[in-house]
Amino acid sequence: MPFENDEITIGLACGRDSDGRARGWYGVQVRAEALRRLGLHPDQPTSRVADPSPPAWWHAAAERTARSR
């Protein structure tokens, strides 16, 4: 793994949504110094969304494909 234990934090939160269904959320944080060591930094043009999002049908097809596997 390219990160040391103190360079990455993974947080998990669990709860119920408005329908009462159990849900989980997670967040990943990586120290900027660790990303810079890999050649990544916020000033890179690819660190921001550059193009419009694919159409809704594309997302739906990707989700169907993922569920079928």
pTM: 0.49
| Cβ-based neighbours of 16, under 8 Å, separated by 6 or more | 22, 23
Tokens found for residue 29? 């944080």
Residues 21-40: tens digit of each pLDDT: 999 999 999 888 888 888 88
Tokens, residue 27 = 């967040």
- Residue 10: name the closest of 25, 24, 27 by CA: 27
Q: Mean per-residue pLDDT for 7-23? A: 93
- Select from 13, 34, 30, 31 the least CA-distant residue to 22: 13
